[in-house]
Structure 1
Amino acid sequence: MANSSRSNLNEIRIECSVEFTNVRRRALIHLHQRVQLTASPTTPLQSDSPFCFLYVPSKIMARVQPHVLRLVLVAVAFVCGLVFFLDPAGITSSTLASSSALAQDYLPGNADAVTHVVLFQFKKGSSPAAVDVACAKFMALKDTCQSPVTRHPYIRSIAGGRDNSIETLQNGLTHGFIVEFESVAERDYYVNMDPAHQSFKKEVEALVEKVTVVDFTNGRFR
């Protein structure tokens, strides 16, 4: 039933479009005839003039009869009004559907993305300044870690900060970082081969008492 109604509506739209085209064609023919009849033979249009594109419309518009303009405007208003009156919901829903589809193309999300969670416990006696430097270098890996193929950063995002949980379940861990990769292959390269990451691990080794690492792919529990 819905498909039949939609088909009928499409037929009506096509008929309206054809009728509007015919009305517009008749109006333009009438207009052209009026211009030819009233144009002065002693003042031909200069087609080679650089201002011809301005001169021709002004000559035509000066001779347009009011009833011709009214005819064209009425035809346009009739077609537009008929379409919106017959199917306002369809037009709105189609527009919203197109907008939604376009928005989906820009929404973040990758079924193969890997989230890499790193938790640090720094050694007692480590200076706050040294800890701050280590954390800043970790965050900088977002830019310093580069793909061996493209020579551009490949880490999707890095977030981190100091623990502020009230559950007292930290087991001594004080700083946390979340690193996101587009794929397992990128995570593997980061962990095992990336020169910037390998250098960072050596630099902070003397400061770190304990490290906990958990990786997962969102939505996969088996």
Structure 2
Amino acid sequence: MKRILTIVALALLSVTTYAHTLTGDPPAKPMKNVVQHIVLFKFKPETTQAKVKEIVAAFEALPSKIKEIKGFQWGTNNSPENHAHGLTHAFILTFDSEKDRDTYLPHPAHKEFGTVVGPWIGELTVVDFTNQAK
């Protein structure tokens, strides 16, 4: 399972690193030493699409409430490899440091988001890493 999560995390990083190919812009240099906080959700079967949209909107609002969040991306799984284990939504938050990430975790806005999403999550995976890209 750890290997699968690592593969998922690296795949997500690859997608974000090479997103420039969609716009034709030159590739952005990977930001070394930033902390990537990757969150993967599998919603409970009874979660409606309207509820999912509400949850995503609440997550999208966090960067405006928590100054330590320097980047926010999200998307839904579209991998043809069939290794997602039912995880459907991926979120990547970027922090300048572990200290900033550690400030985010107990932040009241993050805790409030947890009360919004918590009842609807069937599975949750979180992987953090400090980017070592050159």
TM-score bracket, normalised by the shorter chain, equals 0.7 to 0.9
The answer to whether the Cα contact below 8 Å between 1:157 and 1:179 also exists between their aligned partners in 2 is yes
Task: State the structure with bigger RCO (CA 8 A, min sep 6), 1 or 2.
Answer: 2
Match of 1:131 in 2: 52
TM-score by length of structure 2 reads 0.74
Paired with 1:134 and 1:188, the residues of 2 have a C-alpha distance of 22
For residues 152-191 of structure 1, give each alpha carbon's deviation from its aligned partner in whole angstroms, at most 9, with x where no partner exists.
x221110001111111000010000000000100001111
Any idea what SS the aligned residue of 2:119 has? coil
1:172 aligns with 2:83: no
Match of 2:119 in 1: 206
The answer to whether the Cα contact below 8 Å between 2:68 and 2:101 also exists between their aligned partners in 1 is no
For residues 61-98 of structure 1, give each alpha carbon's deviation from its aligned partner in whole angstroms, at most 9, with x where no partner exists.
xxxxxxxxxxxxxxxxxxxxxxxxxxxxxxxxxxxxxx
Structure having the higher helix fraction is 1
Match of 2:41 in 1: 120
Matches within 5 A, 1:126-165: 126-145=47-66, 153-165=67-79
Structure having the higher strand fraction is 2
TM-score by length of structure 1 reads 0.45
Any idea what SS the aligned residue of 2:62 has? helix
Q: Alpha carbon RMSD of aligned pairs, Å? A: 1.6
Matches within 5 A, 1:76-95: none
Any idea what SS the aligned residue of 2:69 has? coil
For residues 80-127 of structure 1, give each alpha carbon's deviation from its aligned partner in whole angstroms, at most 9, with x where no partner exists.
xxxxxxxxxxxxxxxxxxxxxxxxxxx866543100000000000111
1:195 aligns with 2:108: yes
The answer to whether the Cα contact below 8 Å between 1:116 and 1:179 also exists between their aligned partners in 2 is yes
Match of 2:16 in 1: none
What 5-or-longer segments of structure 2 have no aligned partner? Answer: 1-27
Any idea what SS the aligned residue of 1:198 has? helix
Paired with 2:112 and 2:51, the residues of 1 have a C-alpha distance of 16
